[in-house]
């Protein structure tokens, strides 16, 4: 063997073979695991990130802090990306949002969970086999009740809301870049509140807090909407968040939910979130689904061998029915949705047509729901996961 390697021509062959052995794993990286889909769901106190892989793989899970904001990071080195959303809305409990990053040149998929500051949590991870040779990787987060939060922050009212979408694998999400502070327009400034103090929990207060949405609030008030609930989350010396719920006796199964998040750090914007939602739907399907969403992980394990069975057998059939029922509700009260969009996006009349086209699409049992970005300024999402809703974001730099 030694004499064979000592011959010049054969020595080159051995060297070439060694190089091939070294390079082969690098070439193979492009054909490694594929991260096909992902979703964020809420089951009881559990927040679940579900990642669908084409085969078994163990990601690297780590924590980090970026600009004072905690993050939980899931890395799949050298993985290929399937049809992944670049953004998922959070559960408004522990996770603010989920962002995915892919590196087409060198391969690799990174999933970043932006977490709410000062909300202690614990996390766990597991993998389970799926159909057609796929693998489900599940990362679960739970509030750590042993550590008291330093500071209370706004949470959207606890009624089921699709932002905490259940379960992830069936979802497709489209996303546009994070909203930038919009340029001032004459339409946004066309309404001016008369001078005087604003009564808490009134439309006057809403318009003073969120001037960019003043015309929208004026239209809602004219159409008979009333503030039925408002909450303040201020502390001495701090200006924190507000939330409101608007209801209308003409539309008992609809609601407008509002969150106002003022800047707590200099040179950062105030953020207003206004959502027209169908989550007050009164039906047996809605009641059953809301009940299942309150199940704890322990209760699920007493009824189902695997959490995936709970998703597939209990939740998925109800989600399809919910999509059909909320679609019918939105089409029945179509003028409410059209007027809401007209007032929210006065400079983009095509938004109404885009939204109505998606609402009218046939509900597919294959996917439990889809979320679309239909406008950038203001940023507008149409959510067709669980309870149908339209969510509008206004960004306003304080003076």
The label of the residue with tokens 């929990």 reads 201
Q: Is 0.75 topped by the overall pTM?
A: no
Strands 80-81 and 34-43: parallel
Residue with tokens 């796929």: 134
Which three-class secondary structure state does DSSP give residue 360?
helix
Paired tokens of 14:
């051995």
Partners of 172 in beta bridges: 370
CB-count burial class (<10 Å; 0-12, 13-18, 19+) for 200: exposed
Tokens standing for 344?
A: 């929210």
Closest CA to 384 of 323, 336, 311: 323
DSSP summary character for residue 323:
H
Residue 322's CB is within 10 A of a number of other CB atoms, namely 29
DSSP per-residue codes, 84-97: --SEEE--SSSEEE
Q: Check: CB of residue 264 under 8 Å from CB of residue 235.
A: no
* Cα–Cα distance measured from residue 344 to residue 339, given in angstroms and rounded to the nearest whole number: 8
Q: Is the peptide bond before 52 cis (omega within 30 degrees of 0)?
A: no
Q: Which of these, 263, 277, 271, 258, lies nearest to 205 by C-alpha position?
A: 258
C-alpha–C-alpha distance, residues 382 and 67, integer Å: 30
Q: Where in the chain is the domain with CATH 2.60.40.3500?
A: 34-143
Q: Choose among 200, 262, 255: nearest CA to 230.
A: 200
Phi-psi category of residue 55: left, alpha or beta, with phi > 0 → left and psi -120 to 50 → alpha: beta
Measured CA distances, 395 to 40, 180, 256 (Å): 25, 7, 18
pLDDT of 90 = 86
Instruction: Record the tokens describing residue 395, joined without a space.
Output: 């960004």
Encoded tokens for 132: 């057609």
**Which CATH number does 34-143 carry?**
2.60.40.3500
Instruction: Say how many C-beta atoms besides its own lie within 10 A of residue 204's C-beta.
Output: 17
- According to the model, what pLDDT value does residue 84 have? 85
HEC assignment per residue over 221-247: HHCCCEEEEEEECCECCECCCEEEEEE
Contact (CB, 8 A) for 79 and 35: yes
Place of tokens 């400079």: 347
Report the first-to-last Cα separation within the chain, whole angstroms.
81
pLDDT at position 288: 92
Q: What is the pLDDT of residue 324?
A: 92
Q: What residues form DSSP beta bridges with 315?
A: none
Report mean pLDDT in 10-residue bins for the chain, 399 residues.
Answer: 43 40 34 83 83 88 85 89 85 88 78 89 86 85 68 35 38 39 38 49 89 94 92 64 91 94 77 94 91 85 85 87 94 96 93 94 76 90 91 80
* Greatest Cα pair distance in the chain: 99
């Amino acid at each position: 063997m030694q004499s064979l390697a000592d011959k010049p021509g054969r020595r080159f062959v051995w060297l070439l073979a060694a190089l091939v052995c070294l390079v082969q794993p690098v070439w193979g990286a492009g054909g490694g695991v594929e991260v096909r889909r992902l979703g964020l769901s809420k089951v009881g106190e559990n927040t679940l990130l579900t990642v669908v892989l084409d085969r078994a793989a163990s990601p690297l899970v780590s924590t980090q802090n970026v600009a004072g904001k905690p993050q939980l990071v899931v890395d799949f080195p050298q993985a290929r990306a399937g049809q992944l959303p670049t953004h998922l809305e959070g559960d408004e409990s522990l996770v603010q949002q989920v962002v995915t990053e892919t590196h087409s040149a060198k391969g690799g998929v990174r999933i970043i969970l932006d977490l709410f500051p000062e909300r202690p949590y614990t996390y766990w991870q597991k993998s389970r086999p799926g159909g057609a040779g796929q693998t489900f990787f599940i990362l679960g987060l739970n509030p750590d009740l042993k550590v008291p939060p330093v500071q209370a922050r706004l949470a959207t009212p606890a009624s089921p809301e699709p932002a905490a979408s259940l379960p992830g694998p069936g979802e497709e999400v489209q996303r546009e870049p994070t909203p930038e502070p919009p340029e001032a327009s004459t339409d946004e400034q066309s309404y001016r509140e008369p001078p005087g103090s604003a009564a808490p929990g009134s439309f006057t207060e809403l318009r003073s807090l969120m001037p960019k949405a003043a015309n929208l609030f004026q239209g809602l008030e004219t159409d008979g909407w009333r503030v039925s609930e408002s909450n303040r989350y201020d502390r001495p010396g701090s200006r924190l968040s507000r939330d409101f719920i608007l209801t209308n006796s003409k539309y008992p199964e609809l609601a407008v939910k509002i969150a106002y998040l003022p800047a707590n750090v200099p040179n950062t914007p105030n953020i207003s979130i206004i959502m027209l939602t169908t989550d007050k739907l009164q039906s047996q399907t809605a009641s059953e689904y809301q009940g299942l969403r309150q199940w704890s992980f322990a209760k699920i394990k007493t009824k189902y061998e695997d959490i995936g069975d709970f998703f597939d057998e209990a939740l998925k059939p109800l989600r399809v029915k919910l999509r059909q029922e909320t679609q019918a509700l939105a089409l029945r009260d179509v003028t409410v949705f059209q007027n809401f969009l007209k007032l929210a996006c006065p400079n983009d009349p095509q938004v109404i047509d885009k939204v109505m086209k998606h609402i009218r699409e046939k509900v597919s049992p294959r996917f439990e729901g889809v979320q679309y970005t239909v406008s950038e300024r203001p940023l507008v999402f149409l959510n067709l996961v669980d309870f149908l809703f339209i969510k509008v974001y206004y960004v306003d730099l304080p003076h």
